[in-house]
């Protein structure tokens, strides 16, 4: 029997972490790890190229309509959605560590920036640049662990609220309403009810048809794989391209109706700017109406979002990376670096903030992508569409895009978590619900922060109420009252431990022995040491002898440093009954 | 052998706590507990009366000079310090649960309000009222547990910083300097250096003599008790009255010099307002210069101090109560109620915020007090001094008061904690030093909040890095890789657990078995359950079978609710070697 023990230490090793961070950046070996393309490029061949190309084009067919749609969610002109996909894929090809991941605009990113785009579209581009800087820094300094402090229920509550908010903002497009869509859930809902009379006949018909067709095409692809026979392959590709298909159908219908009747019965996205954006510095100042905003003013407008936006971007990207990791470790820090660079470079071509997209990454994998180079072909398709197809996009009906977004959103909500938490943990259900309410009522960024703080408070409270077992045992020489302390005790548990010992000592006779059993005690801090020493000393002086059993040397030294007179009260023995004997021998 | 186990549960029982709080307030039995005087008054007799009277007067002899001195620290006119002791003792007699405690102004309370008194003295009185309300509410709602989140090092750092700040502000009085004393440490120090040239000969001589006499008188009383012989009794009382003695000496010297030479060689506190203050509502509005402040404006001036001040008051009072508890439980909530009422009532007679005073309580106990009624005699003496002796106080030298404060402060610093933490915990030493720096640099209230947050972050970080043991063991049927999870795991540990399992699974052969040992696992949350289920499923599909050992029913249900296909991977058995047999029998 061979036993090799590795112990993942639980000390908060901030110093080590910082050292490690700087060490990692500097070593030559690590440079290779920070540029994953070095790993796969030498093995690249025609076969991989073809597969990456097919996958890249399939993803592009979804990325184009989604890009237009997400720009609309953010309140931007549709072409910004396309600009956002222009270079991210190329940058990710060099720095990304996960072949499936597709970086691009996402609905949640769009929903968060919408509030700032209400000022000026420059805010979206600056947000991309700033988010990129924060992500890059966090990745370089190994601060990715911060994301670990967001629990499942908080992520789920945030996502649910974002989906509700985005879906409600799409009701306008789905029903072809006039008036504003609103950036908050309540605003959108009220605006929907107020403007429902302005609905036309054809917008909802087209919108709901889009949803039905998407669901049917999704069902068509179930169970078939691109490695199957010809008919299976066709079914599979049709299903994978469903987002492009519905939008093309909508465009064709709108185009034919316009050509034959000269009429526009559904709302179209209209003219979009043709051609590639001119590369330029992100806007560090802007004008809103007659007011000019310098960099500091713009930062003030972002407020807490300056941190929440990159945080959510990292969260989405890491979550997507983990889903496609197949039991292999994800280098979260490398993903953050890649994501940061994608956002920084993209902001030079007028992009809104981007992150790892779940839909597009799933599509990428299903299309059989082999390396991150798939992103390059996706980008090429977008370049083509911006330069050649821009005028065609005039005919894209807003109702088709709304239907596409709502269908994508429906699959993002984890409906089962409500029932699961109701059964297993009402406390977590409460965190989930508070997060949703705060996200919808006050704003997505405040909601997620509230959820994180609430979770942290619950952890602190549970640390303050550790389990303390108390039992009594009759021995020939004395009655023993044993108080068992376990694991790690922190300062906030001091009062609880003190109370437990005093309750145990209440009303017992002076010839009893109180034994504080530290057999399973691993770690205490100075506050606990001081409490134990003080209370044991008080009990010794006023009630009965108070002994310490099996405290390890470090812990006993922490106590005796405070009350040296306790030094003869520490005992180590295997059987509880021996303690009384050892004590009375010593007296 | 009889074993009775009581388990102090560690669930965060917010619901139970609130229920309990309201239940406690309403039950008739509790009313008695909330009015402790009902317990001791029936047993009160002449003997107890005499002892309480002696103690009350002894404490009063210190309370009067300290009151004058603390009012000066707060920047108030000296008579406010006396007003602050007028009714607190009487109120505490009814509601207080600890006979030794003396409620009155303290140096730390004075240092915190000093900043606001710079606006107007009305702020000190309103602070007393507001602190009283917050303390009362916290006591009634059983929210005293919040104080447990302040660790020993933070308390020590805060006290050290307060002592440095107070002592530095007393340098002006000690050296008889001109110019302002400053409310911050740096301000006071700079002001001291700048004005050192204005020092007179006699102020420092009187100040340092005061310190020397106080130390000698303290030494005189060491080892003697009021229950001893006549000479021992005299020595003891002289030592206990030392604060009054040095001030009287200073007064006499100043008085004689003035009468004989017509000169005032030392700075005196000067005229103070004679007579009892008129009872009136606390000032809910005030005027500063030409600006009038309504209640909202005053609250804004207080800022975070609105909570920090009552919090610190509770902390001081509870700490004092615990020191004198003699191994008996302190009802912290009752102490908060008593303290709250003391402050509310006192604010009607122009008092600054008060709390349990360590010096005066120790004096009270040393003087042999028997019940909280001692406070009444202390108050009577203060009433006498305000009405009859007010004009005499003209001759109190500021240098004597400065010497008195500095001597009291010196004993408050825990010098040894620095060395102790250096040996046992550098992390806590860092918290201590950050707290001191923030308290001195930014302000006492910000310093303590920084310390509390820093401690909380360390707890969260340690919760995110639990100990995970990994070891391998060769068995006839398979190589086992065992991953041991312990105690309670919270969401923030999810990534660490996931990584540990994936590292353990790296590079092992597909005929190995990975065993996640939950024998010592007590509690997981939904995030951990989801991580375990996902990673086990991934490992099962891609690497080798991943089994769960001795997970209790609740925990296994949480995992299988997410991945039902794992249901046949949970095993319960005592010996590790049986797991492989059981598994292969089932396959």
List the single residue in A with minimal CA-CA distance to B422.
A526
User: Which residue is it, tokens 């000093």?
Assistant: B114
What pLDDT was estimated at residue B21? 55
CA distance A272 to chain B (A): 44
What pLDDT was estimated at residue A327? 64
Q: How far is Cα of residue A499 from the mean position of the Cα atoms in its chain?
A: 40
Distances (CA, A) of B88 to B107, B357, B372: 16, 12, 11
What pLDDT was estimated at residue B9? 42
Q: Which long-range contacts (CB under 8 A, 24 or more apart) does B317-323 make?
A: B317/B101, B317/B103, B317/B355, B317/B356, B318/B144, B318/B147, B318/B356, B319/B155, B319/B356, B319/B358, B320/B101, B320/B356, B320/B357, B320/B358, B320/B361, B321/B97, B321/B98, B321/B101, B321/B356, B323/B358, B323/B361
Contact B151 A11 (CB under 8 A): no
pTM, whole model, 2 decimals?
0.80
Q: Is the ipTM of this complex over 0.95?
A: no
What pLDDT was estimated at residue B216? 93
Low-confidence ranges of chain A (pLDDT < 70): 1-29, 31-32, 326-327, 587
Q: Identify the residue among A492, A517, A560 best suited for mutation to test binding to B, counting B beta carbons within 10 A and taking the highest.
A: A492
For chain A, report the end-to-end CA distance as a whole number of angstroms: 46
**Among residues 306-345 of chain B, which lie with CB inside 8 Å of chain A?**
325-329, 332
Q: At what angle do helices B230-240 and B358-366 cross, to 10 degrees?
A: 170
Whether A440 and A186 have beta carbons less than 8 Å apart is answered as yes
**Among residues 175-204 of chain B, which lie with CB inside 8 Å of chain A?**
none
- Contact list in A for residue B470 (CB cut-off 8 A) is 5-6, 8
What burial class does residue B220 get, using C-beta atoms within 10 Å of its C-beta: 0-12 exposed, 13-18 middle, 19+ buried? Answer: middle
DSSP 8-state class, residue A397: B
Whether B529 and A425 have beta carbons less than 8 Å apart is answered as no
Contact B428 A526 (CB under 8 A): yes
Which among B464, B482, B437, B446 has a CA at the least distance from the CA of B579? B482
A466 touches chain B (CB under 8 A): yes
User: Which residue is it, tokens 């229950």?
Assistant: B227
List the single residue in A with minimal CA-CA distance to B9.
A467
A426 touches chain B (CB under 8 A): no
Tens-binned pLDDT, residue by residue, of chain B (587 aa) = 333 433 344 444 555 655 565 555 556 567 767 888 888 888 898 888 988 988 888 888 889 988 998 998 899 999 999 999 999 999 999 998 888 889 999 988 998 998 899 889 999 999 999 999 999 999 999 887 888 888 889 989 998 998 898 888 888 889 988 877 777 788 888 888 888 888 888 899 999 999 999 999 989 888 777 777 888 888 888 888 888 899 899 999 999 999 998 888 888 888 888 889 989 999 998 988 888 999 988 988 888 888 888 988 888 888 788 777 766 777 888 889 999 999 999 999 999 999 998 888 888 888 888 899 999 999 999 999 888 888 888 898 989 989 988 888 888 888 999 999 999 999 999 999 999 999 998 888 888 889 999 999 999 999 999 989 999 988 888 889 999 998 889 999 998 999 999 999 988 888 899 999 999 898 999 999 999 999 999 899 888 999 999 999 999 999 999 999 999 999 998 888 888 888 888 76
- Contact list in B for residue A561 (CB cut-off 8 A) is 420, 423-424
Contact A491 B455 (CB under 8 A): yes
A143 touches chain B (CB under 8 A): no
Q: Annotate B16-70 with DSSP letters as a single string.
A: HHHHHHHHHHH-HHHHHHH-THHHHGGG--HHHHHHHHHHHHHHHHHHHHHHHHH
What pLDDT was estimated at residue A226? 75
A10 touches chain B (CB under 8 A): yes
Contact B526 A417 (CB under 8 A): yes
What pLDDT was estimated at residue A392? 86
Contact A467 B8 (CB under 8 A): yes
- Contact list in A for residue B488 (CB cut-off 8 A) is 462
- Contact list in A for residue B333 (CB cut-off 8 A) is none
Q: Identify the residue among B433, B467, B520 best suited for mutation to test binding to A, counting A beta carbons within 10 A and taking the highest.
A: B467
User: Which residue is it, tokens 């006119």?
Assistant: B77
Whether A546 and A540 have beta carbons less than 8 Å apart is answered as yes
Q: Residue B399 contacts by C-beta under 8 Å, 6 or more apart in sequence? A: B173, B174, B175, B176, B203, B204, B206, B207, B210, B250, B266, B267
- Contact list in A for residue B10 (CB cut-off 8 A) is 462, 465-467
Contact B466 A494 (CB under 8 A): no
List the single residue in A with minimal CA-CA distance to B15.
A427
CA distance A455 to chain B (A): 9
Whether A409 and A166 have beta carbons less than 8 Å apart is answered as yes
pLDDT tens digits, B402-439:
998 888 888 888 899 999 999 999 999 999 999 999 99
CA distance B134 to chain A (A): 21
Q: Considering CB atoms only, which of B464, B469, B535 is closest to A148?
A: B464
A459 touches chain B (CB under 8 A): yes
What pLDDT was estimated at residue A319? 79
C-alpha span between A98 and A82 (Å, rounded): 23
Contact A326 B538 (CB under 8 A): yes
What burial class does residue B389 get, using C-beta atoms within 10 Å of its C-beta: 0-12 exposed, 13-18 middle, 19+ buried? Answer: middle
Token digits of residue A11? 């000390």
List the single residue in B with minimal CA-CA distance to A526.
B152
Q: Considering CB atoms only, which of B8, B145, B462 is closest to A468?
A: B8
**Among residues 13-32 of chain A, which lie with CB inside 8 Å of chain B?**
14
Whether B353 and B339 have beta carbons less than 8 Å apart is answered as no
Q: Residue A97 contacts by C-beta under 8 Å, 6 or more apart in sequence? A: A36, A321, A330, A331, A334, A335, A338
- Contact list in B for residue A469 (CB cut-off 8 A) is 5-7
- Contact list in B for residue A492 (CB cut-off 8 A) is 148-149, 151, 459
Whether B338 and B93 have beta carbons less than 8 Å apart is answered as no
What pLDDT was estimated at residue A524? 93
C-alpha neighbours within 13 Å on the C-beta side of residue B172 = 22
C-alpha span between B426 and B428 (Å, rounded): 5
Which among B164, B114, B99, B34 has a CA at the least distance from the CA of B356? B99
What pLDDT was estimated at residue B8? 40
B505 touches chain A (CB under 8 A): yes
How many inter-chain contacts (A to B, CB under 8 Å) are there?
229
- Contact list in B for residue A336 (CB cut-off 8 A) is none
Mean pLDDT of chain B: 87
What pLDDT was estimated at residue B105? 93
CA distance A417 to chain B (A): 9
Contact A526 B326 (CB under 8 A): no
H or E stretch including A562? none
Contact B467 A7 (CB under 8 A): yes
């Amino acid at each position: 029997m061979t036993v090799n023990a590795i112990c993942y230490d639980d000390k908060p090793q901030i110093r080590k972490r910082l050292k490690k961070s700087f060490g990692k950046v500097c070593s030559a070996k690590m440079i290779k790890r920070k540029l994953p393309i070095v790993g796969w490029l030498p093995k690249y061949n025609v076969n991989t190229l073809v597969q990456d190309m097919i996958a890249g084009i399939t993803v592009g067919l979804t990325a184009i309509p989604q890009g237009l749609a997400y720009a609309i969610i953010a309140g931007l002109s549709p072409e910004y959605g396309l600009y956002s996909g222009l270079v991210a894929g190329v940058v990710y090809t060099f720095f990304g560590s996960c072949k499936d991941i597709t970086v691009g605009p996402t609905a949640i990113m769009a929903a968060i920036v919408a509030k700032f785009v209400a000022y000026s579209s420059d805010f979206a581009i600056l947000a991309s640049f700033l988010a990129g800087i924060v992500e890059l820094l966090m990745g370089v300094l190994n601060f990715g662990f911060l994301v670990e402090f967001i629990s499942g229920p908080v992520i789920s509550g945030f996502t649910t609220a974002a989906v509700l908010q985005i879906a409600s903002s799409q009701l306008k497009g789905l029903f072809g309403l006039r008036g504003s869509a609103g950036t908050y859930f309540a605003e959108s809902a009220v605006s929907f009810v107020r403007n429902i009379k302005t609905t036309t006949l054809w917008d909802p018909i087209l919108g709901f048809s889009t949803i039905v067709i998407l669901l049917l095409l999704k069902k068509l692809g179930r169970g078939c794989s691109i490695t199957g026979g010809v008919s299976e392959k066709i079914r599979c590709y049709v299903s994978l391209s469903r987002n492009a298909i519905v939008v093309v159908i909508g465009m064709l219908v709108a185009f034919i109706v316009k050509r034959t009747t000269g009429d526009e019965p559904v709302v179209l996205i209209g003219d979009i700017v043709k051609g590639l954006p001119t590369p330029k510095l992100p806007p560090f100042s802007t004008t809103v109406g007659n007011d000019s905003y310098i960099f500091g003013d713009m930062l003030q407008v972002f407020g807490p979002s300056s941190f929440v936006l990159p945080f959510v971007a990292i969260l989405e990207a890491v979550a997507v990376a983990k889903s496609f990791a197949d039991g292999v470790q994800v280098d979260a820090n490398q993903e953050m670096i890649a994501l940061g660079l994608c956002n920084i470079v993209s902001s030079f071509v007028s992009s809104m903030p981007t992150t790892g997209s779940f839909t597009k990454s799933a599509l990428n994998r299903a299309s059989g992508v082999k390396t991150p180079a798939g992103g390059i072909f996706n980008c090429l398709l977008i370049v083509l569409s911006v330069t050649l197809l821009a005028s065609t996009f005039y005919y894209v009906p807003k109702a088709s895009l709304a239907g596409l977004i709502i269908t994508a959103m429906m699959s993002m909500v984890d409906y089962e978590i409500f029932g699961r938490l109701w059964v297993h943990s009402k406390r977590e259900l409460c965190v989930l619900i508070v997060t949703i309410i705060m996200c919808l009522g006050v704003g997505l960024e405040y909601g997620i922060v509230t959820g994180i703080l609430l979770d942290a408070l619950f952890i602190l409270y549970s640390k303050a109420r550790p389990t303390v077992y108390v039992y009594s045992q009759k021995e020939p020489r004395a009655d023993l009252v044993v108080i068992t302390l376990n694991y790690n005790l922190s300062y906030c548990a001091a009062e609880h431990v003190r109370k437990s010992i005093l309750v145990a000592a209440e009303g017992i006779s002076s010839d009893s022995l109180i034994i504080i059993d530290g057999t399973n005690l691993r770690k205490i801090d100075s506050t606990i040491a001081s409490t134990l020493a003080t209370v044991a000393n008080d009990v010794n002086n006023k009630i009965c002898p108070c002994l310490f059993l099996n405290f390890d040397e470090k812990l006993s030294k922490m106590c005796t440093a405070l009350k040296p007179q306790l030094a003869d009260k520490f005992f180590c023995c295997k059987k509880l009954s021996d303690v009384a004997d050892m004590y009375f021998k010593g007296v």
